[in-house]
Amino acid sequence: MSLLEIENLRLEIGGTPILRDIDLSIAEGEVMGLVGESGSGKSMTALTIMRLLPDAARTSGRVTFDGIDILAAPEAAMNRLRGDDIGMVFQEPMTALNPVKTIGEQVAEGIRWHAGANRADAEQTARQILDRVGLPEAKFPLSRFPHELSGGQRQRVVIAIACALKPKLLIADEPTTALDVVLQKQILELLRDLVDEQKMGLLLISHDLAVVADMADRITIMRHGEVMEEGETARTLSAQVHPYTRQLALASMHVPDRKKHAPSADDAARPLLSVENVVRHYPGRRTSLFSRPEPFRAVDGVSFSIRASQSVALVGRSGCGKSTLARMILALDRPTQGAIRLNGAEVSAMSETELKPHRRDIQVVFQDPYGSFNPRHKVERLVAEPLHLLEKQPGPAERREMVAAALHEVGLQPRDMDKYPHEFSGGQRQRISIARAIITRPRLVVADEPVSALDVSIRAQVLDLFAELNGKLGVAYLFITHDLTVARAITDDVMVMHEGRIVESGKTIDVLDNPQSEAAKALVAAAPDLHRALQKRLAEQG
Amino acid sequence: MTDAPLHLEQPGWRSTLRLAFANRSFMIGFVITALVAAMALVSYVWTPYDVTHLIVADRMKGLSAQHPFGTDHFGRDILSMIMVGARNSIAVAVVAVAVGMGIGVPLGCWAAARGGWVDETLMRFNDVVFAFPALLSAVMITAIFGPGAVNAIIAIGIFNIPVFARVARAGALSLWPREYVLAARAAGKGKTLITIEHILPNIASILLVQGTIQFALGILAEAGLSYLGLGAQPPMPSWGRMLFDAQTRMMVAPHLAIFPGLAIVITVLGLNLLGDGLRDVLDPRLRRQR
Amino acid sequence: MIAFLSKRLGIGLVTLLVASAVVFFVLEILPGDPALLMLGMNATPEALASMREQMGLNDPVLVRYFSWIGGMLVGDFGRSFTYSSPVIDLIAERVVVSLPLAIISLILSTAIAIPVGIFAAARRGRMGDTVSMGVAQVGVAIPNFWFALLLVYVFAVWLRLLPSGGFPGWGAGVWPGLKALILPAIALALPQAAILARVTRSAMLEVLGEDYIRTARAKGMPRRYVLWRHALRNAMIPVLTIMGLQFAFLLAGTIIIENVFYLPGLGRLVFQAITQRDLIVVEGVIMLLVASVVVVNLVVDILYAVVDPRLRVSA
């Protein structure tokens, strides 16, 4: 008999249907991967199992866990189940822990509540489980507060809370999405080991097929609140019987078709951008009242150059200094030492007025398709904003024409210019963002994680657009990303950044296939790869 | 990449209005505020009785068909006095809010845009003003420069400045790191232009909400000052003054105290409801700012 | 934490210094000659001149400013012209009325507001919430002096339970003194309680929407436990801020309320001193009130650090 059995589950919130006829089952000790794009209802399925839905939610169907009818169980019975027989790990480790309670209190609390243990025994158990998740007592005593831990460490605490009482089922809702790839690998390995040791069932929710392919015995693919396909992982993902499964798998492995723009000999010889020994300090935290704080070196002596129409990736773990470097290149921040030259002119030493004619050559695309636009302006005004940099300001008619042309280039309609940004989907907004970046015909576009907030199928389309514009306009790119598949798909060269320094650089394929530095090796080893995961699974199964 | 991401959507003005009229707090507040404002406006052209005309024979009459709210110790009609008093309350509070906004918002935006010592100095000044018990200082100001509506406005207005400066600064600070502001900077726009184009329109709603709150507080403060005899001077009727006059006569004529007090409570209540409603409608998520 | 508190202490001292300068120089530009006010209109020029000399009015402004602050630091607030007694004595006489009044009001408003706010947040959208927040909404709109008049009418005039005003002095015993403060304290406290209850409710609701509340619920903790053990302490941070601000409002409120109830407190003292142009009294009392606001804010800062470990960072 299955540990968890969901039959015909329907969910409405305030009259809006969220889930339709979900069927899902997990056997004891089995890992079930639940995959889908945003809005597919994955998280809501998890919250239904926990009965932690919002008050306005109405459910029907059957959810049976270990013989208990979850949807009909009284709240007191649910309180006995939660944290004891079912544990849950959430996406955002930075906010998942109570900031005013120590990690010891937060782990021991559930143990005391469920097992009726006294304080000393509960703390003893808390110590053991924290030690097990990789937070040994010597370095992480129970008296630590969450703000004293990093994101990865906090996620370990959350896992310790969920697994403290050896639950029969663990639900992990995008447990690694907020972490970088190296941390992701560590956390996934920890989860797998815990599941094996404690014979837990695991419901692993993810948008990333590669992660699920690597972890799950069986997989359920959801879309728009419905189950599309369900089955054994390797078989389902390699056979791709359902068209949506096929679409997802293809998008996950998509590599854009790139037509190289042939740079003129002149362009090729002279660097477009050169970064020379750039250092950026931030004031450090004061450790005592009288000593001067030690500055934090976010960027620590970086040099490189980019030629016209070259596409370069800057990869590294979170906090390695890549975004700080990008801000300095965009002249939004100044280096503490060193120089940044654009077309030979030292932009890092210029005043805002002197900078103005140079700014049109370098534009930016940000990560968040929602935060990139002033919500109160129409698309025309948003896309036209950099036209401010032209020496001769275009008239209204000319301006509309230029905006229309830019929108056309990114695959949108000229009539879209009279809409507000909230009328567009995430992928379309990222296209608007690109239109804004190319309207002044810049020589270089800095893109800071431009596709990491997008669903896989949309990500593939946006990557295609970047590739196409590189070929058509000859614009150079600096892609800042932690995602090696993006780097592999769209760039010629790659630089690996680690603790403020560039530790390795070269042709993208060479570096990613044969990394030399420790930092690059760790990144490559940790990057989830659907191909590799499937091959490994198929090989295991013979 | 969460399921059902929550994003701050900005519907156009038309749908904002539709939302507003569906909001109960907003509707009740709007109706009350409109009625009080209308009453003040009507008083310019018509009141049931002339409030400057004293008829001692009619003094301290109870409620009747001729005088629905009774008469005061000079025989003046209370309803007429409340109507005329509304003018004064509203005028003082509106101008005080305008003073606070007009000076506080630019200061707050400047502090946020400039940062560094400008920010530090302005915020320290804010701390100083906050440390003065506001009403006490208002009493001091009116006592020094003499009682009267204008000085009441100055006294109340000065204490609105740091409030608006704080709200504007906090809002602006949360917007400066936004990607669209960074994009505007990458487009070579200066701090002033960015403040006008991107910051102000996006903090307008929190300022509007704060404006209704300060408006309500201004009405209360004006009533307090005129109760102490430091606001509008006789023969100009004012709600606070009416309560002062009522105090010693309460044993014989409690209605003297009831109606001006109710006028204050209803007006302030209406404004607060309006503010709550506006906040719900305009930016439900702005309440989460820390 | 030391760094945090020493920064706050520094800010408090700067506030006091700036405030003293503002108070002194604003009152300095006032029309009217204090010596003339003291001696009356018929004073001879010679008498005036010697009075001015005696009062130190002929010294340069800065000298007078620094001798004024220097005096205050050792408890010498100067001499009142109208009462012809040291200001510090006047303050000492009055503070025994105002301080208990402010403290009783603060305790009263906190004791009412916080439980009501928690209750409303716990029953969000239900009857209890709607009713208590409706009452609070009205409470916020009530001017405290009008509320005071109503209380006097009901409890003093009508029911004859409590005195309508005046203060017998603590010499007459604790109970008569307290009895005289009950109505003023209620009049001051209730409108403040209404504000605080609304703040408490919204702070609780905001905290209840946080991720860590969901984590605690996923641990199997019942709603009530989560409310008291996880939400409350986090919600106290904004509540403390408002309580700090309210203290300044309470002090200001005493001016009006002491006038309504004819209580011989600091508020009434300063109000009378202003109308009589007894500047030295005004300056002294205002500085005392500002200092107490600064001290209360410092206490609030310390409480922040107690509640929130993120502020306790030391090395």
Is it the case that residue C30 has pLDDT exceeding 80? no
**What is the predicted pLDDT for the residue at C32?**
63
Is it the case that residue C113 has pLDDT exceeding 90? yes
**What is the predicted pLDDT for the residue at C76?**
85
Cα gap A164→A129, rounded to integer Å: 6
Residues on chain C bordering chain A, Cβ-to-Cβ distance under 8 angstroms? 2-3, 6, 210-212, 214-223, 225, 229-230, 233-234, 307-310, 313, 315
Is it the case that residue C19 has pLDDT exceeding 90? no
C116-171 pLDDT, tens digit each: 999 999 988 889 999 999 999 999 999 999 999 999 989 888 888 888 888 888 88
Q: What is the mean pLDDT of residues C82-93?
A: 88
Cα gap A4→A200, rounded to integer Å: 12
Q: What is the mean pLDDT of residues B206-214?
A: 89
Give burial (CB, 10 Å; 0-12/13-18/19+) of B52.
exposed
Read off φ and ψ for residue A91, nearest 5 degrees: -75, -45
**What is the predicted pLDDT for the residue at C315?**
33
Examine the domain organization and report whether A459 and A419 are in the same domain. no
Q: Which domain holds residue A346?
A: 261-284+292-361+447-542
Nearest Cα of chain C lies from the Cα of A147 at a distance, in angstroms, of 7
Among A79, A99, A287, the residue with its CB nearest the CB of C310 is A99
Closest residue of A to B178, CA-based? A371
Of A389, A410, A441, the last residue of a domain is A441
Cα gap A71→B285, rounded to integer Å: 32
Residues 151-210 of C with CB under 8 A from B: 152-153, 157, 202, 206
Cα gap B178→B184, rounded to integer Å: 10
Would the CB atoms of A388 and B188 count as touching at under 8 Å?
Answer: yes
B232 or B287, which is more confident: B232
Is it the case that residue B218 has pLDDT exceeding 80? yes
Query: What is the tally of structural domains in chain A?
Result: 3
Among A82, A145, A287, the residue with its CB nearest the CB of C220 is A82
Would the CB atoms of B1 and A370 count as touching at under 8 Å?
Answer: no
3-state helix, strand, coil in chain C (%, to 5): 80, 0, 20
Is it the case that residue A159 has pLDDT exceeding 90? yes
C74 or A258, which is more confident: C74
**What is the predicted pLDDT for the residue at A69?**
94
Closest residue of C to B290, CA-based? C238
- Give A157's contacts in chain C (Cβ within 8 Å): none
Token pair 């650090």: residue: C305
Examine the domain organization and report whether A410 and A470 are in the same domain. no
Tokens coding A149: 């831990």
Which one of A217-221, B179-183, B279-283 scores highest in mean pLDDT?
A217-221
B4 or C35, which is more confident: C35
**What is the predicted pLDDT for the residue at B3?**
33
Which one of A312-316, A534-538, B232-236 scores highest in mean pLDDT?
A312-316
Residue A333: inside a domain:
yes
Among B144, B265, B287, the residue with its CB nearest the CB of C142 is B265
Examine the domain organization and report whether A241 and A265 are in the same domain. no
Q: What is the mean pLDDT of residues C48-69?
A: 79
Q: What is the mean pLDDT of residues C99-115?
A: 93
> Could you tell me what percent of chain C has a pLDDT over 90?
34
Would the CB atoms of C221 and A110 count as touching at under 8 Å?
Answer: yes
B197 or C278, which is more confident: B197
- Give A90's contacts in chain C (Cβ within 8 Å): 211, 214-215, 218
Examine the domain organization and report whether A430 and A495 are in the same domain. no
Cα gap C304→C310, rounded to integer Å: 10
Q: What pLDDT band is residue B57 in, cutting at 50, 70 and 90?
A: confident
Cβ–Cβ < 8 Å for C238, C126: no
Residue A379: inside a domain:
yes
> Could you tell me what percent of chain C has a pLDDT over 70?
94
Is it the case that residue B6 has pLDDT exceeding 50? no
- Give A96's contacts in chain C (Cβ within 8 Å): 211-212, 214-215
Cα gap A221→A230, rounded to integer Å: 6
Examine the domain organization and report whether A471 and A377 are in the same domain. no
Partners of A218 in the β-ladder: A32, A232
Examine the domain organization and report whether A484 and A351 are in the same domain. yes
B contact test, residue of A385, A441, A451 with most B CBs within 10 A? A385
- Give A433's contacts in chain B (Cβ within 8 Å): 183
Nearest Cα of chain C lies from the Cα of A100 at a distance, in angstroms, of 6
Least confident of A241-245, A260-264, B14-18, C138-142: A260-264
Helices (H) and strands (E) in chain B, counts: 11, 0
Nearest Cα of chain C lies from the Cα of A43 at a distance, in angstroms, of 13
A contact test, residue of C219, C230, C307, C314 with most A CBs within 10 A? C219
- Give B188's contacts in chain A (Cβ within 8 Å): 352, 355-356, 359-360, 386, 388-389
CATH superfamily of C91-314: MetI-like (1.10.3720.10)
Q: What is the mean pLDDT of residues C303-308?
A: 86
Residue A12: inside a domain:
yes
Q: What is the mean pLDDT of residues B200-215?
A: 89
Q: Which amino acid is at A525?
A: A
Token pair 């408002």: residue: C242
Examine the domain organization and report whether A414 and A541 are in the same domain. no
3-state secondary structure A19-78: EEEEEEEECCCCEEEEECCCCCCHHHHHHHHHCCCCCCEEEEEEEEECCEEHHHCCHHHH
Every domain of chain B and the residues it spans: 17-289
At the second CATH level, the architecture of B17-289 is Orthogonal Bundle (1.10)
Closest residue of B to A385, CA-based? B187
With contact defined as 3+ CB pairs under 8 Å, the chains touching B are A, C
Is it the case that residue B105 has pLDDT exceeding 90? yes
Closest residue of C to B285, CA-based? C206
Q: What is the mean pLDDT of residues C210-233?
A: 92
Examine the domain organization and report whether A388 and A457 are in the same domain. no
Examine the domain organization and report whether A456 and A532 are in the same domain. yes
Of A441, A456, A477, the last residue of a domain is A441
Residue A269 neighbours by CB under 8 Å, 6+ apart: none
Q: What pLDDT band is residue C64 in, cutting at 50, 70 and 90?
A: confident
Using a CB–CB cutoff of 8 Å, tell me whether A41 touches chain B. yes
Q: Which of A499, A478, A500 is nearest to A335 (CA)?
A: A500
A176-213 pLDDT, tens digit each: 988 888 899 999 999 999 999 989 999 999 998 999 99
**What is the predicted pLDDT for the residue at A293?**
67
Q: What is the mean pLDDT of residues A92-108?
A: 93
Q: What pLDDT band is residue B4 in, cutting at 50, 70 and 90?
A: very low
Sheet holding A68-69, edge to edge: A16-26, A4-13, A57-65, A68-69
Would the CB atoms of C251 and B133 count as touching at under 8 Å?
Answer: yes
**What is the predicted pLDDT for the residue at A291?**
60
- Give how far Cα A340 sits from Cα of A192, A303, A493, C248, Å: 46, 9, 19, 53
**What is the predicted pLDDT for the residue at B286?**
40
Give burial (CB, 10 Å; 0-12/13-18/19+) of A230.
middle
Nearest Cα of chain A lies from the Cα of B103 at a distance, in angstroms, of 25
Q: What is the mean pLDDT of residues A383-400?
A: 90
Q: What pLDDT band is residue B100 in, cutting at 50, 70 and 90?
A: very high
- Give A455's contacts in chain B (Cβ within 8 Å): 1
Nearest Cα of chain C lies from the Cα of A321 at a distance, in angstroms, of 24
**What is the predicted pLDDT for the residue at B1?**
33
Is it the case that residue B74 has pLDDT exceeding 60? yes
Would the CB atoms of C290 and B243 count as touching at under 8 Å?
Answer: no
Would the CB atoms of A113 and C221 count as touching at under 8 Å?
Answer: yes
Average confidence score pLDDT of chain C: 86
Average confidence score pLDDT of chain A: 90
**What is the predicted pLDDT for the residue at B290?**
28
Is it the case that residue B287 has pLDDT exceeding 60? no
**What is the predicted pLDDT for the residue at A292?**
63
Cβ–Cβ < 8 Å for C5, C305: yes
Q: What is the mean pLDDT of residues A513-540?
A: 89
C249-279 pLDDT, tens digit each: 888 788 889 988 999 999 889 888 887 878 8
- Give B11's contacts in chain A (Cβ within 8 Å): 422
Cβ–Cβ < 8 Å for A527, A253: no
Q: Angle at which helices C232-260 and C87-122 pack, to 10 degrees?
A: 130
Token pair 């005696």: residue: C54
> Could you tell me what percent of chain A has a pLDDT over 90?
66
Is it the case that residue A167 has pLDDT exceeding 70? yes
Examine the domain organization and report whether A396 and A452 are in the same domain. no
Least confident of A44-53, A293-302, B275-284, C131-140: B275-284
Q: Which of A184, A316, A255 is nearest to A459 (CA)?
A: A255
Q: What pLDDT band is residue B90 in, cutting at 50, 70 and 90?
A: very high
**What is the predicted pLDDT for the residue at B8?**
38
Sheet holding A337-342, edge to edge: A296-307, A271-282, A337-342, A345-346
Examine the domain organization and report whether A394 and A270 are in the same domain. no
Q: What is the mean pLDDT of residues A515-522?
A: 93
Q: Which amino acid is at C91?
A: I
Is it the case that residue C34 has pLDDT exceeding 70? no
Every domain of chain C and the residues it spans: 2-87, 91-314
**What is the predicted pLDDT for the residue at C38?**
64
Is it the case that residue A359 has pLDDT exceeding 60? yes
Q: What pLDDT band is residue A518 in, cutting at 50, 70 and 90?
A: very high
Q: What pLDDT band is residue C81 in, cutting at 50, 70 and 90?
A: confident
